[in-house]
Structure 1
Amino acid sequence: MKALGIDNVLIPVGDLDAAVEFYSAKLGLAVQFTVPEHGLAVFRVGDETPGLMVRVDPSAGAGRPPAMRVWLEVPDARAAAAELSAQGVTPPTPPFQVATGWTVEFADPWGNIIGLTDYTSRPELGR
């Protein structure tokens, strides 16, 4: 078997409307489409076809460990952290340096961890 790339990343959430609000209004991801009767929405990440897919899961965030952890590449993780903090989405820890640049992590309302990472120290590796 040969994996050709990522299709979609599935994130379990507790409420579709709240997820659309968080991922579009707070994180700024464009909604590709929603299928409310199936409790799912897909958000575009950059210019790529794959995206983040959220699907209602009644057990999401119900006292269990985070269900998903995904990192997205951004131009400047520290600036993204400041922008999200201004919107009331506070990271549990400040941005931290990694080999390629900076990273900051946030939790969505169901405990899924969304990391924002940049390639400011290694721009040749970034998009």
Structure 2
Amino acid sequence: MSDDESYELLGFDNVLLPVGDLGEAVAWYERAGFPVGFRLDEAGIAVLKVGKETPGVLLRLDEELSHRPPPWASPRVWLEVRDARATAEALTTADIRPLDEPFSTATGWTVEVADPWGNIIGFTDYCKRPELRRV
């Protein structure tokens, strides 16, 4: 890019996650609290809602992908919740096991889970920095 060309990042569109079975993935994410925005089986995609924002989590079918544990250095997607520790309890009740106990961060608490294909989703709160949380 030249000095007089630039671009501005405006925000997230969607976060794409590969899954090996769209129906199984949609059911797993619904148990984890994600409502389905829309699903197009013929295209092998489902978009899950995240709060009141338009962007969401897009599940994309990769039929060659099998169940696997998350790779050690796997990227993470963290989503804001009101109370991460309560979310950990709700996930456990829904038969979704956190990777570890909720842990403290600079802004609050976080709990992470991995879907059957190794995608890691974190749920984080801002209890230590309430001025930064969504209203």
TM-score, with length taken from structure 2: 0.87
Computing the radius of gyration over CA atoms, which structure comes out larger, 1 or 2? 2
Q: Secondary structure at the match of 1:33?
A: strand
* Aligned mate of 1:85, from 81, 87, 92: 92
The equivalent residue for 2:44 is 39
For 1:13, which of 2, 8, 19 is the aligned residue? 19
Q: Name the TM-score, length of structure 1 as normaliser.
A: 0.92
The answer on whether the counterparts of 2:32 and 2:96 sit within 8 Å (CA) in structure 1 is no
Instruction: Give the share of equivalent positions with the same residue, in percent.
Output: 55
- AA at the equivalent of 2:111: V
CA contact 2:67–2:118 (8 Å) conserved in 1: no
The Cα offsets for residues 39-64 of structure 1, whole Å up to 9 and x where unpaired, read as 10001100001100000113435658
Distance 2:71 2:63 in 1: 14
Question: Do residues 52 (structure 1) and 52 (structure 2) align?
Answer: no
- Gaps of at least 5 residues in structure 1 are none
The DSSP-based 3-state class of the residue aligned with 2:71 is coil
Matched, 1:113 2:120: yes
Q: Structure 2: any 5+ residue segments left out of the alignment?
A: 1-6
CA root-mean-square deviation: 1.7
Instruction: State how far apart, in whole Å, the 2-side matches of 1:3 and 1:61 are.
Output: 34
- Does structure 2 retain, via aligned residues, the 8 Å contact 1:11–1:68? no
Seen in structure 2, the aligned counterparts of structure 1 residues 108 and 125 have a Cα distance that, compared at 3 Å, is same
What is the Cα deviation at residue 28 of structure 1? Answer: 1.4
Tell me how many residue pairs correspond in the alignment. 126
1:67-114 CA-to-partner distances (Å, cap 9, x unmatched) read: 652111000000000011112111121000000000000000111001
